[in-house]
Structure 1
Amino acid sequence: MTGLALDSPAAAVAEEASLASLLRCCVREVAGPRGQVWHAEPYTLLRVAATLLRIRTHGGLALRIEGTPEWLDRGCWQPLSVDMLVRLVETELGGSNEEFAAQVDASRSAMARLLAVRRGTSPPADPWLASEQGLVFGHPFHPSPKARGGADWLRYAPEAHASFPLRLLGVRDDVLAEAGDTGPLDELGTAPRGYTPLPAHPWQLDLLAAELAAPLADGRLIDLGHGSPSPRMAVPTSSVRTVYEPRIDRCLKFSLDVRITNCVRKNSWYELAGAVELTRRLEPVFRDLSASFPGTRWLPEPGYRSADLGTRLLEGLSVIVRASPWSVCRPGVTPLLSGALAVPGDPPDEPVRWWRAYVERVAPPVLDAYLTHGVVLEPHLQNVLVGVDTAGLPVEAVFRDMEGTKLVAGRHDLSGLPERVAEALTYDPADGWNRVVYCLMVNHLAEVAASLAGAESTRELWAVAGEVLAGYAGSRGWPRPLADLLAGAPLPAKANLSVRWARSADRSAGYVPVANPLAVLS
C-alpha cells in the first residue's frame, strides 16, 4: 500500500473496509450463486476456490461484517487478508484479468490516504455538504469502491474535504454549444464581446491539456482564469465530478476523463441533450408526485453549455446546470445525503418512528413514478437526499441526477428526438423495474435499515416497511409487480464484481437474485 506504512491506523482501517467489501461481493456473486454459503451461528461460512472462509455478519441483506474474517488452514482458522482473498477470487473466476488486483489495491490505498488526510481537515459547516463528503468507504458491494484514476485525484476528492475555485473559459460565440436555461453560468464572470463564459473543472482542464492547445492558440477558446473574484470556492459532492458552486447556488455536473469505480465519468453528447429533455418531461410528473406524496422534491437540470469543437471537447468541456437542494427544500428542512445516513452512527431516539417516516418519504414516489408515470428513477444512496426537520425526522425526499433517470419504453412518445438520445432515455419495462427495485430495496433501504438497527435484527424495520408499501399498493389496486415484491419475490442485486472482472461497461452490469427481507413477513 503506497504512501502509508502498512501498520498505520489508516492502513489498518482501509484493509478492514476493503476486505469487507470484497467478501460481500463473494457472498453475493461468487459463493452464493454456486451454493457455497452456509449459516452456522455465529458465523456465515463460504467457500471460494476450495478454501473455507468464515465471517460474523449482521444487518440482513446489507451483510455487515464484524470481527476478523478467517480462512481454514489445515484445521486451524487464520486471519484473512485482502491480498489472499484477491488470489482466491482470481482462482475461482478463472481466466485472466491483470487489472483486477491492481484496482482492489488502488481502492484500498485511496481509502488509507483519505482517512489520513481527514484527520487534519474539517468538514464543511453546511450539513448537506458535510454529508456529501462523508462517504470514505464507498459502495459496500463493490470490489474496488474507491478506485480512482488520475494522478491528482486527492486534491479534488470530496472525501478529503476538498474545495477549489473553478476555472473560467471564454467560448467564441460561433462555436458555443448550449441548450435550455444556462443563465446562471453568466454570473460566474464576464467574457469579452463575442465570447460566452464557460466554467471548467480544473482537473479536467489538466486532463484535456493536449486537446485544448489548438483552440486556445487560435482564439476559439480563451482562458479567463477564475472569473469573478470570490472567497467562496466550489465544493465537490459525493460523485466527485459534480460540485456545488455557492456563488450561484447551483450544482454543476462536469465531465472528468478518469475512471471512478466502474466508469469514465464524462457527459456523453446524447446525455447532454437528454438531461434538458428529461427536465422538460419530468416537470409535470413531479408536480403530480408532489401532490400525491407531500415532501417529494427533485433537482431539475434545465440546461447545459459546452464548446462545439468536435465530440471529444464537446463532451469533455460540458457542464450541466442542476438546482441545489437548499433551493427546493422548504425553510427549516435540512437536506442530507442518504448515503451518509447509511454509514453506521448514532441512531435516532425513536428509530422505528424515524424509519417509518423515512420509508414513507422515499419509497411511494419512486414506485408511483414507475407504475403511474412510466418513469424509472434511480434512487440509490447517492441519488437521494432526505430532508429532515428540526427534530431530525425525515419530512422530504429529494431525487437527483437525470443521467440515471429513464422513461419506460412504449409509454412515452419520443419520435421527435434523435435516435441515440431516445435510446439513452429509455428502459424496457422489465429492465426498468429491476433498476427501481435494486436501487430502492437492495442498495438503499437495506443499507439504511442495517445502520439503524446496528447489530440488532432488522426484522421489525422491514415489517414497518412492508406496511408502508402495502398501504401504497392498496391505494393503486395492487399492481402485479408490487404484489410480487410484497409476496417475497427475490430481489435483483447489481453484480459489480462480475462487471469489473469482465472489464465491461457499467451499463452491461447484470443482476443476481438475493433474498427479499419482506418474504418472511408475507
Structure 2
Amino acid sequence: MSHHDQQTAGIERRLAEQYLNTYCRETAHPDPRIDACAPADEALMPHCATWRQQGLMPFVVDLPGSATRLAGAFSHFSPVGYHRLASELWVQQSGHWRRMDDVADLSDLIAAALTAASPSPSGATHNQARLQALMRNSIAKVRRFHQAPAAHDRPDYVASEQGLRFGHVFHVTSKASDGFSEADLCAYAPELGASFQLHYFAVRSDLLDMQTIDHKAVPIDPAAMHFAEALLRDGEYRLLPSHPWQAQYLLGLDNVGMLVRDGALISLGPLGERVWPTSSVRTVWLPQQNLFFKLSLNIRITNFVRNNPDEHVARALDASIALGLLPAARVRQEHFRILQEIGSETLKVPDKELRAACAVIYRQAMTQEEAQDVHLAAALLEESALGDIPLRALLQQAAGDRAPDADLLRRWWRRYLDVSLLPMLELFADYGISLEAHLQNSLIGFKDGWPNCGYARDMEGTSISRQRFPFLARLDPASPALYDEAQAWHRFQYYVLVNHIGHVAACLARLGPCDEASLWRDAVQSLRGCKASALALVETLLQQATLPVKANMLSSFHQQGETPSWIAIPNPLKN
C-alpha cells in the first residue's frame, strides 16, 4: 500500500474511532464488546473469530430507530472510553453486512440514530440535518489538512500548537468551521502552518475601551507603534490589533464604515511582527513580545462563533484579578505557571455585537527560550493517521538508550501529575479557583523527555467558588467568574481530571507497557501525597462512583453550545 493510501485509510480509521467512541460514551454504551460465549450474528462469526485470533476484542453497537448495527474490533479498551479501533468498521443494514469505506456514512448514521432516540423524532429532523452538515464539514477539513505537506521554518513550539489535525477525540465536529474560504484556510489555518501580520486600526482615544489588570496601558507591538507614531503622538488615537480576516469582516459592516468616514477609526493594514495562530485558530502567539492575543473571529468553529463577548472578557479579567490577589508563588511556581490575562481592548460603543467582534484579550506567554521545550498537551497525545504519537518520542528521550518499560512510564506519569493535577487541585482546595485546564488550554515544558513545568492558559473558562475564595469582597459580586462551590468543583473534575489527566493516562496505556488501572492506582498515591488542605477533596474524589463529562455530540445535536449537556462515566479513581 502506498504512503498516500496508508494515510487515507488511517484518516478514515481515526475518524471512525473518534465518532464511535463519542457515540458510545454519550449514549450509555460504555462497553460494546461481545463475549466470546455470547451468540453472534452468523454472518459476523468468521470476522469475530479472526479478530480474536489476532488478539483483538470484537464489538457490536445497535443504532436505535432501524435495524442498523455497527461492528469491528478494538486493540485497546479504555475505562474512560478512549478505545482504539483496530480494523475497519462494518455496518449491517437490511440484514446485510458491508465494510464502511467512507466515514461520512457513519456521520449520517449517528445523526439519524440521535434523531430516532429523541423524545420527538419528527421535531428533531432539523437537528439531524444540521449535525450531518457539521460532521461532514469537519471530515472535509480533516482530509484537507492532511493534503498539505508538513510546514517548515517554524519554532518547535509552534509545530506542536499547529499539529492538531483531528482535534478533540470526544467531539464529532472537532474541525468544523464556517466562514473561511479555501484561500483563507491557506492563509490562516494553524493546521496548514499559517503565520501572518496582524491588521491594526487607529482608534480615536475616546472610542477605545481599554481594561487592564495593573492599570497600565496594554502592550503594543513596537513596530506598529513606530509606523503610527504621528497619529499616536498627541494621544488622539490608540492602536487596536485585529485578525486580518476579522479586519476585512469589520470593514464590510455599515456601522464600522461610518466610523471610518468620520475619522474615528483608521485602517492601517498589516503591521508588526509575524504572529503564529495556535490550536484555537483565533489566539495568536507573539514570540518577540512574550504574549498571546486572543482575537475575535466571527466564524463558527465547532459549536461557537469565536468572538469575545463582554461576559467572556469580564470572566477572563476577573479571574486574573483573583489570581493577582494570591501569593505570587502560587501563580508562578517552579514547576507550574498560570499564564494570566493582562488586559483587553474593544470599541466603546453600545452595540454589543460590534464590541464582541472588535475585542482582543492580552495574555502572558512563555519566553522564547522557555517555549523551545514546551508542547501543547493535546498535540502531544494526538495519534496521527499513520498511527504514531508525539508522546512516544518524549518517553524514548526520557528512557535514553533503552526501551521505555512499565517502570519508566509510571515514573514519568507521576512526574506529569506533579506539574499538572496536583498544583491545580491544591489551588482549588486553598483558594477555590478552578482552572479550565483541558488539553488545549494546557502546555507542558519538558527537560530530557521528563515533564518539568505545567502551564495553564485562557482564564475565560475559570470558575471561582464563592464559598472557598478568601478574597470575595475584592471581586464584583456579579462577576461571571464566580460560581457556587458545586459548580466550580464539577468543572474541575471534568476539565482537569477527565478531559486532561484521564486522556494522558489512556494514551500512556495505549503505548503498551502498563495498563490504565495501574496508572490510576499511581494517581491515587500521588493524590494522597497532596498538601493537607487538599486531602478532604482527594477523599471525596476517591469515594464518588462517577465523574462528569461534557457531552459534546449531544450538545451539538441539541444546539446547546452555551449550556451543554452532561453525562457521567465510572470513576477510575474509585477502589
TM-score normalised according to structure 1 size:
0.88
| Residue of structure 1 equivalent to 2:27 | 30
| Matching residue within 436, 440, 443 for 1:385 | 443
| Residue of structure 2 equivalent to 1:158 | 190
Distance 1:467 1:434, change over 3 A: same
* Separation (CA, whole Å) in 1 of partners of 2:156 and 2:244: 25
Give per-residue Cα distances to partners, 1:237-261, cap 9 Å, x unaligned: 0111100123422111111111111
C-alpha deviation, 1:76, in angstroms: 6.0
Is the contact between residue 104 and residue 139 of structure 2 (CA under 8 Å) also seen in structure 1?
no
C-alpha deviation, 1:441, in angstroms: 2.3
2:238 aligned counterpart, secondary structure? strand
What is the identity, as a one-letter code, of the residue corresponding to 1:209? L
Is the contact between residue 319 and residue 460 of structure 2 (CA under 8 Å) also seen in structure 1?
no
| Matching residue within 473, 483, 490 for 1:427 | 483
Is the contact between residue 92 and residue 98 of structure 2 (CA under 8 Å) also seen in structure 1?
yes
| Matching residue within 292, 297, 320 for 1:251 | 292
| Residue of structure 2 equivalent to 1:218 | 262
Identity %: 31
Gaps of 5+ in 1: 1-6
C-alpha deviation, 1:195, in angstroms: 0.8
| Matching residue within 283, 294, 303 for 2:343 | 303
The alignment status of 1:106 with 2:137, answered yes or no, reads: yes
Give per-residue Cα distances to partners, 1:378-405, cap 9 Å, x unaligned: 110011111111x121111111101111
Which residues of 2 match residues 295-444 of structure 1 at below 5 A? 295-309=335-349, 310-326=351-367, 334-344=373-383, 345=389, 346-347=392-393, 348=395, 349=399, 350-389=408-447, 391-412=448-469, 422=479, 424-444=480-500
* Separation (CA, whole Å) in 1 of partners of 2:318 and 2:92: 56
How well do the aligned residues superpose, as a CA RMSD in angstroms? 2.6
C-alpha deviation, 1:202, in angstroms: 0.3
**Which stretch of the first structure deviates more once superposed, 275-284 or 405-414?**
405-414
The aligned length equals 498
User: Which protein has the larger Cα radius of gyration, Structure 1 or Structure 2?
Assistant: 2
Which residues of 2 match residues 466-485 of structure 1 at below 5 A? 466-472=524-530, 475-476=532-533, 478-479=535-536, 481-485=537-541
* Separation (CA, whole Å) in 2 of partners of 1:496 and 1:379: 17
| Residue of structure 2 equivalent to 1:4 | none
| Matching residue within 266, 272, 275 for 1:234 | 275
Give per-residue Cα distances to partners, 1:480-521, cap 9 Å, x unaligned: x4313223621111100111000122x3112211122223xx
| Matching residue within 120, 128, 140 for 2:169 | 140
Distance 1:22 1:260, change over 3 A: same
Is the contact between residue 285 and residue 369 of structure 1 (CA under 8 Å) also seen in structure 2?
no
* Separation (CA, whole Å) in 2 of partners of 1:411 and 1:458: 33
1:514 aligned counterpart, secondary structure? strand
The alignment status of 1:268 with 2:309, answered yes or no, reads: yes
* Separation (CA, whole Å) in 2 of partners of 1:386 and 1:504: 31
What is the identity, as a one-letter code, of the residue corresponding to 1:44? F
| Residue of structure 1 equivalent to 2:405 | none
Give per-residue Cα distances to partners, 1:267-316, cap 9 Å, x unaligned: 1113323333322220243635358x641101111111222133223221
* Separation (CA, whole Å) in 1 of partners of 2:239 and 2:341: 19
| Residue of structure 2 equivalent to 1:450 | 506
* Separation (CA, whole Å) in 2 of partners of 1:199 and 1:252: 9
| Residue of structure 1 equivalent to 2:59 | 44
Distance 1:247 1:361, change over 3 A: closer
Which residues of 2 match residues 272-287 of structure 1 at below 5 A? 272-285=313-326, 287=328
2:495 aligned counterpart, secondary structure? helix
What is the identity, as a one-letter code, of the residue corresponding to 2:57? P
**Which stretch of the first structure deviates more once superposed, 81-90 or 293-302?**
81-90
Distance 1:302 1:290, change over 3 A: closer
Distance 1:246 1:325, change over 3 A: closer
* Separation (CA, whole Å) in 1 of partners of 2:307 and 2:485: 27
Distance 1:182 1:147, change over 3 A: farther
The alignment status of 1:79 with 2:74, answered yes or no, reads: no
**Which stretch of the first structure deviates more once superposed, 208-217 or 281-290?**
281-290
What is the identity, as a one-letter code, of the residue corresponding to 2:519? L
* Separation (CA, whole Å) in 2 of partners of 1:150 and 1:246: 27
2:528 aligned counterpart, secondary structure? helix
C-alpha deviation, 1:75, in angstroms: 6.5
Which residues of 2 match residues 43-62 of structure 1 at below 5 A? 43-49=58-64, 50-57=67-74, 58=76, 60=78, 61=80, 62=82
Distance 1:482 1:14, change over 3 A: same
* Separation (CA, whole Å) in 2 of partners of 1:415 and 1:285: 14
**Which stretch of the first structure deviates more once superposed, 258-267 or 24-33?**
24-33
TM-score normalised according to structure 2 size:
0.80
Distance 1:123 1:353, change over 3 A: farther
2:535 aligned counterpart, secondary structure? coil
